[in-house]
Amino acid sequence: MIAFHRVGLEYPRTGTKALYNVSLEVKKGEFVYVVGHSGAGKSTLLALILRRLLPTQGAVYFAGQNLKLLRGDQVALHRRRIGMVFQDHRLLSDMTVEENLAFVLRVQGIPSREWPERIATALRRVGLAHKKRAFPEELSVGEAQRVAIARALLLDPPVILADEPTGNLDLDNALQVLDILKAAHQRGATVVVATHSRELPEAYPARVVVLKAGQVVRDERPGEGGSIRVRESPDRGGKEEA
Ligand SMILES: Nc1ncnc2c1ncn2[C@@H]1O[C@H](COP(=O)(O)OP(=O)(O)OP(=O)(O)O)[C@@H](O)[C@H]1O
Ligand SMILES: [Mg+2]
């Protein structure tokens, strides 16, 4: 579904090398945690999948397509296949919950007769059907984040990317958010979650990819005897973590 072939990413303005030689394959229907310290490259990796960034080395493939070769409106179509969730909900403050969701459907050109059903389904999935007339500031942080997930799920995207979706939440709310992502996974979505949280992989065990200073240093699936360790290149001077 998603494949990184020896991907390097250097931010042009600052010359920061955020990823080195990352090779990674995420199969359709997989659930993957991407973990690593601040600055390890997690958000950069997600931005490459969204094609917000193009690799400076190597290539990123999505459903067999090299993302670098997408043109104009193909980029918009590509992003439509991805539901993106951020740490902060990024809801529009002057719109109610249902207006926030309708806004996405309008932008995506979904016929308005389909909106009520789609909005109702999305809110039901996150347990917030009763909040559709609330404004974002009238929601708790956890509720606002669940609305943001409802928004990401509106078009039933085959892939969901979440960047620290529980970063601002206490454990109870974090586990609610995880449950929603888990349900989407069980309906067949491919899910990639960047997180600092140790609790999420404990609560819902899945593959864990560890990034360190821009490199994949570990990649393990639950139940596997040994983990796949990837040696860091010597010029980074890094050591493997136990
Ligand atoms: N737009 C940018 N321009 C230049 N450098 C950037 C940019 N965004 C990130 N970086 C740098 O790239 C590296 C990786 O950053 P990234 O945001 O991917 O890390 P992260 O793992 O998501 O960290 P965090 O856990 O803090 O969110 C860091 O050194 C960061 O300073
Ligand atoms: Mg980040």
pLDDT of residue 222: 87
Residues of the chain with pLDDT under 50: 226, 232-242
Residue 46 Cα: closest atom of ligand 1: 18
What pLDDT, in 10s, does the model give residues 94-105? 999 999 999 999
Residue 65: per-residue pLDDT = 96
Q: Please state the atom number of ligand 1 nearest to the C-alpha of residue 196.
A: 25
Ligand 1 centroid–CA 43 distance in Å is 7
Residue with the smallest CA separation from ligand 1 atom 7 is: 11
Judge if the beta carbon of residue 215 lies within 6 A of ligand 1: no
125-164 burial, b if ≥16 CB within 10 A, otherwise e?
Answer: bbebbebbebbbeebeebbbbbbbbbbbbbbebbbbbbbb
What is residue 156's predicted lDDT score, i.e. its pLDDT?
Answer: 92
Question: Helices 115-125 and 97-107 meet at what angle, rounded to 10?
Answer: 120
